[in-house]
C-alpha cells in the first residue's frame, strides 16, 4: 500500500496528480476487483479535472498544499454538494441533493485532496459486519475467494485503501466503524475524540457517540488526515520513546472468545513491544462487566438512532435492511427516564475508569477477537447478531468513554489480518497517534511503499 507521504514526495519530485487519479480510477473500474461493490458513486470526470488543475498549480509553485492532487474516498453518509446522501440505503434515494459539502469534506478539498467517489457502508452505519443487501458487500482482501466480511460500518472505506483505490479514506466511528473494518482489512483506522472533527453534514447514527475519522495505510497517513479534518496545521508527530511507554491490558471481557490466530498475533506484538522496553501491565478493570447491564435496553445508540429515524420509518420502513431495522426499533423500548439513566451511568463509568487507567499512557487490546468470517457464515440472523456483538465489543468501549482509539495491523506479512487497538483518554488524540506510530514500527507487517 502506498502512503500519503510517499505520494506527496513523488508529486514534489515531478510526478503528476493525473497519474495518481488515473491509477485510482483504473483500480476502481477493474472488473476483476472490488470497485463495483466498494464505490456507490465514482466522481471520475470531476477528479480528473481537479488533478489537471493541481498539476498546473504545482507547476507554478502555488498548490494549496503538498497533498494537492492525492485521491481520497468518502463514506456514503457525507454530504457532497450536488450528490444525494444515501447512507448506504435505498430509503433516501429520492432525497434532495446536498447543497454544500460536509465540513470534513470541505477541509479535505481545501487542502487539495481529490475525492474519487462515495464508498459503500452498512446501511445507516448500524453494524460492525459490513454487509449491505442493497448495493452488495465489498470483500475483505484476506482470502477473497472465500468472500469474507470487510467489517463495518465503513466497509468500502477500508477496502478502498487495502486495494489501492484511494490513499486516504474518511469514515465514521460510533462503536468501532473505522477500527473494525481497518482490522479485518489490514489497514489503519483512527477514531478521534468525538468533538475533534465536525460531524455536521454526515448522516447521524448517534449524536452523542458519532465521530469522523480516517482510514489509511499507516499511522502517519491517519495523522496527516487528522490534522486536516480537525482544522489544525499539518505537523509531524512527536516521536514517542518505547522505553517510556506504559500500556495497560484489561483482563475483563476484552480477551474473551479470542480466536487462536488473533491471540498469537496479538501476543507476538506485545512481546515485540516488551523487547523494545515498553511496560505492559495486566489490570483487572472489572468495571467493563458493567457495560452489558448499562446498555441492556440498547443504550445511547439505539435511543438516538430511533429518534433520528422515526420520521423516515413512518414512510419507508419496509425498505430498510431487516438486520438494521431490528436494532433501530429497539429504541422504542426506552423512555426518557431510561435514556437519562444511561447518560448518568456513562458519566459515572467514565469517571471511575479514567481514575483507574490514569497511570498508563494507553490501554491495549485486540481490535476484534476474530478473523474475518465468511459472509455466508454470518448471514443467518442469530449468527449475524452474535458476530456483530463480538466485533463491536472491544472498540465500542472507547466510544462510550468518549476517548480516542486506533487500530494498527499486527499480523505477520501474508497472514490473516489482525488489529492491535490502543485507547487514549478524551482529547489526547495527537499523543495517542505518536504512541501508535512508535508501536507500528514494531508490530506492523510492513508492505508500505
As annotated, the active-site residues are 75, 153, 177
d(CA 65, CA 302): 41
| Assigned C-alpha cell, 86 | 444515501
Query: Would you tell me how many other CB atoms lie within 10 Å of the CB of residue 322?
Result: 10
Side-chain half-sphere exposure of 279, counting CA atoms within 13 A = 9
Q: How many CB atoms lie within 10 A of CB 110?
A: 13
How far apart CA 184 and CA 168 sit, in angstroms, is: 17
Contact 122, 130 (CB under 8 A): yes
- Cα gap 190→212, rounded to integer Å: 9
CB 403 within 8 A of CB 426: yes
Q: Are 54 and 68 in contact (CB under 8 A)?
A: yes
| CB burial of residue 239 (10 Å; 0-12, 13-18, 19+) | exposed
DSSP single-letter state for residue 76: T
29: cell is 473500474
β-strand partners of 216: 168, 188
The SS3 assignment for 71 reads strand
The DSSP secondary structure of 277-315, one letter per residue, reads T-EEEEE--GGGGHHHHHTTT-HHHHHHHHHHHHHHHHH
Question: What does the alpha-carbon distance between residue 444 and residue 265 come to, in Å, rounded to a whole number?
Answer: 11
Amino acid at each position: 500500500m502506498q502512503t500519503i507521504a510517499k505520494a506527496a514526495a513523488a508529486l514534489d519530485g515531478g510526478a503528476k496528480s493525473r497519474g495518481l487519479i488515473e491509477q485510482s480510477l483504473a483500480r476502481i473500474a477493474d472488473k476483476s476487483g472490488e470497485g463495483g461493490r466498494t464505490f456507490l458513486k465514482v466522481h471520475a470526470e470531476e477528479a480528473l479535472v481537479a488533478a489537471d488543475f493541481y498539476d498546473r498549480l504545482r507547476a507554478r509553485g502555488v498548490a494549496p498544499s503538498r497533498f494537492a492532487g492525492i485521491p481520497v474516498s468518502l463514506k456514503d453518509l457525507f454530504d457532497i454538494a450536488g450528490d444525494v446522501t444515501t447512507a448506504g440505503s435505498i430509503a433516501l434515494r429520492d432525497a434532495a441533493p446536498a447543497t454544500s459539502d460536509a465540513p470534513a469534506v470541505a477541509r479535505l478539498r481545501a487542502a487539495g485532496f481529490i475525492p474519487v467517489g462515495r464508498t459503500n457502508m452498512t446501511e445507516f452505519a448500524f453494524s460492525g459486519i459490513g454487509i449491505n443487501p442493497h448495493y452488495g458487500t465489498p470483500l475483505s482482501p484476506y482470502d477473497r475467494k472465500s468472500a469474507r466480511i470487510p467489517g463495518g460500518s465503513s466497509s468500502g472505506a477500508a477496502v478502498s485503501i487495502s486495494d489501492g483505490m484511494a490513499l486516504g479514506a474518511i469514515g465514521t466511528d460510533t462503536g468501532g466503524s473505522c477500527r473494525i473494518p481497518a482490522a479485518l482489512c489490514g489497514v489503519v483506522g483512527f477514531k478521534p475524540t468525538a468533538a475533534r472533527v465536525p460531524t455536521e453534514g454526515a448522516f447521524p447514527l448517534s449524536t452523542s457517540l458519532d465521530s469522523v475519522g480516517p482510514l489509511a495505510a499507516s499511522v502517519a497517513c491517519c495523522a496527516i488526515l487528522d490534522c486536516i479534518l480537525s482544522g489544525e496545521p499539518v505537523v509531524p508527530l512527536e516521536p514517542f520513546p518505547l522505553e517510556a511507554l506504559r500500556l495497560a491490558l484489561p483482563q475483563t471481557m476484552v480477551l474473551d472468545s479470542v480466536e487462536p490466530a488473533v491471540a498469537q498475533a496479538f501476543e507476538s506484538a506485545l512481546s515485540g513491544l516488551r523487547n523494545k522496553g515498553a511496560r505492559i501491565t495486566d489490570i483487572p478493570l472489572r468495571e467493563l462487566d458493567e457495560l452489558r447491564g448499562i446498555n441492556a435496553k440498547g443504550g445511547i445508540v439505539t435511543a438516538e438512532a430511533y429518534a433520528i429515524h422515526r420520521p423516515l420509518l413512518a414512510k419507508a420502513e419496509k425498505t430498510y435492511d431487516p438486520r438494521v431495522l431490528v436494532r433501530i426499533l429497539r429504541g422504542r423500548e426506552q423512555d426518557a427516564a431510561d435514556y437519562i439513566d444511561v447518560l448518568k451511568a456513562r458519566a459515572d463509568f467514565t469517571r471511575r475508569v479514567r481514575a483507574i487507567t490514569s497511570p498508563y499512557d494507553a490501554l491495549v487490546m485486540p481490535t476484534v477477537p476474530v478473523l474475518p468470517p465468511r459472509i455466508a457464515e454470518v448471514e443467518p440472523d442469530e449468527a449475524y447478531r452474535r458476530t456483530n456483538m463480538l466485533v463491536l465489543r472491544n472498540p465500542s468501549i472507547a466510544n462510550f468513554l468518549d476517548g480516542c482509539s486506533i487500530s494498527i495491523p499486527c499480523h505477520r506479512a501474508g497472514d490473516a489480518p489482525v488489529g492491535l487497538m490502543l485507547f487514549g483518554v478524551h482529547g489526547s488524540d495527537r499523543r495517542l497517534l505518536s504512541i501508535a506510530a512508535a508501536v507500528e514500527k514494531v508490530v506492523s507487517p510492513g508492505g508500505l511503499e
